[in-house]
Amino acid sequence: MDHLDSMSEVKHQRIKTNGIWLHVAEKGTGPLVLLLHGFPEIWYAWRHQLNYLAQHGFHAVAPDLRGYGDSDSPIDPNSYTMQHIVGDLIGLLDHFGQQQAFVVGSDWGANIGWNLSLFRPDRVKAYVALGVPYFPRSATTKSVEAIRKLFGDECHVCQFQEPGRAERSFARYDYLTVMKKFLLITSTDFLAAPQGMEIIDFLPTPSTVPSWITEEELMVFADKFLESGFTGPLNYYRAMDLNWELLAPWQGSKITVPTKYIAGDKDMVFKSWGMKDFVESGVFKSLVPNLEVVIIDGHHFIHQEKAQQVSHEILSFISKFTTSATSI
């Protein structure tokens, strides 16, 4: 019960930013920590970190990113570029009157955090990326084409491109089952279905829920997606090639903000695509010179699966950049 009690202390508000309304959940006072969720999550993915950071003298703020939960969800996939989403977040920082914030991102949220750090390093005090490293923009090949070459037409990124296709296939299942299929993934392979099969059909439905999450917690996600649908979240994938075009001015740029990268050793992103070699070689560090890397035991949604450990890793890093978390 105490977990639900602690959630009741979370404050909720909708904030006008960049022409849309964003819902944010927040807790605590002190230096601002912006928590950016991934696919298919909402602010609630950070429930453990909201409590932990608030207890340790930080103002933790977890938005529903545009297209998700109780935030506005523009219909057009072209409204989901990194410029739009980073713009939303700059508006949040301005709303809270903060020149700089600590930023933590997981999955798509990690990608967004990298781009926030790339576009506006002046606004990011330090960054913690979970699961997804910073990889450089290809000078020659669009993102979806590059992923198709590596993983084939039936990988999730490719299947998600066609408007309506994934929405129709997801609709064959109840929302709790869809959540279980994604959030409880233990496969270490990049998401690719056999020829002619939809990703959602290919993903197994675990018969039991692991100890780190409950059916009730999964229902919080399911109920929100029942209200909002999946088109907004899927539009992030559908804007990938437009992102590739818009990111051309930053070709060859490095990430200069102090950064910590945390990945689960069994994370499907970390385990595929030569990502492990990329992270462990000098290439990642050459792109992000001010980098720490921590690999822990776990899978993709590590901030939920290993909440205490990840919260501690976040706190130990951002505390280096605060004189005192409790002082004004």
Residue 106 in tokens: 């997981």
Q: Is position 267 annotated as part of the catalytic site?
A: no
Per-position DSSP letters for 17-85, written without gaps between them: ETTEEEEEEEE--SSEEEEE--TT--GGGGHHHHHHHHHTT-EEEEE--TTSTTS---S-GGG-SHHHH
Stated as kind and residue range, the H or E segment containing 3 is helix 2-8
Q: Which is catalytic among the residues 70, 72, 107, 267?
A: 107
220, exposed or middle or buried, with CB in 10 Å at 0-12, 13-18, 19+?
Answer: middle
Q: Is position 299 annotated as part of the catalytic site?
A: no
Q: Which is catalytic among the residues 44, 80, 127, 237?
A: 237
Q: Which is catalytic among the residues 48, 59, 156, 300?
A: 300
Stated as kind and residue range, the H or E segment containing 292 is strand 291-296
- Facing residues of 102 across strands? 33, 126
- Cα separation of 128 and 270, whole Å? 16
Q: Is position 237 annotated as part of the catalytic site?
A: yes
- Cα separation of 187 and 182, whole Å? 10
Cα distances (Å, whole numbers) of residue 194 to 32, 50, 188, 268: 44, 39, 16, 17
Question: For the packed helices 175-183 and 215-228, what is the interaxial angle rounded to 10 degrees?
Answer: 120
Contacts of 288 (CB under 8 A, 6+ apart): 134, 254, 255, 259, 261
Strand order in the sheet with 259-264: 11-17, 20-27, 59-63, 32-36, 101-106, 124-130, 259-264, 291-296
Burial 161-186 (b: 16+ CB within 10 A, else e): beeeebeebbeebebbbbbbbbbbbe
Residues with catalytic function: 107, 237, 300
